[in-house]
Structure 1
Amino acid sequence: MKSYLISYDLIGPNRDYDSVTEKIKSYGTWARPLESVWIIKSDDSATTIRDNVFSVMDSNDKLIVTGLTGEAAWQNLSPKLSEWLKENL
């Protein structure tokens, strides 16, 4: 499985964060390092993930899905999240 970073801005009018959160969590293996930034593991392509997540968003919301290569650095994240990142990137 590959790791993907998902980031979004919900512009509205609905701003349905719960639906977006549930859609991302449906991938099973995920972390949420920042408010609107997630990392998931999936065998799907970035395009498939984008289409799946965007299906619960408004047409003017913004979304990016990026494949990760494994190298990462972070600061001030919890020990639990840091461990997840080390194991999954």
Structure 2
Amino acid sequence: MSYLISYDLKQPGRDYPGLQTAIEGLGPHIHCLESVWIVAHLGPSTLIESKLRPFLDANDKLIVVAMSKDWTTYNFNQITEVSWLRQYV
């Protein structure tokens, strides 16, 4: 199963390297938009959220959504990004 992970990091100028490392550690992943990742993970979404929450501030926002095979993209790289999506979603 694949999950879309998106976040709003509210602290201006703050670096969140721990969050990025935690997302990358969940499994095969693609960082497809500025604050959007898609990760191949067995889930559930609540487990993913609990692994990422320690890297967020109290006012940050996070959403984790299970993906389906019904997806489309615009202006994504066909060789890297779209190929990844076809393989894992």
Fold-level similarity (TM above 0.5)? yes
CA distance in structure 2 between the aligned counterparts of 1:53 and 1:78, rounded to whole angstroms:
27
Structure 2 residue ranges without an equivalent (≥5): none
> Residue 44 of structure 1 aligns with which residue?
43
CA displacement 1:34-80 (0-9 Å, x = unmatched): 01000001112101101111111101100000001111000101121
TM-score scaled by structure 2?
0.91
> Residue 33 of structure 1 aligns with which residue?
32
Percent of aligned positions with the same letter in both sequences? 36
> Residue 7 of structure 1 aligns with which residue?
6
Coordinate RMSD, CA, aligned: 1.4
Establish whether residue 74 from structure 1 lines up as the match of residue 73 from structure 2.
Answer: yes
CA deviation after TM superposition for structure 1 residue 32, in Å: 1.0
Does the 8 A contact of 2:30 with 2:39 survive in 1? yes
Correspondences of 1:45-60 after superposition (within 5 Å): 45-60=44-59
Residues paired across the two proteins, number: 88
Distance 1:14-1:56 versus aligned 2 partners, 3 A rule: farther
Structure 1 residue ranges without an equivalent (≥5): none
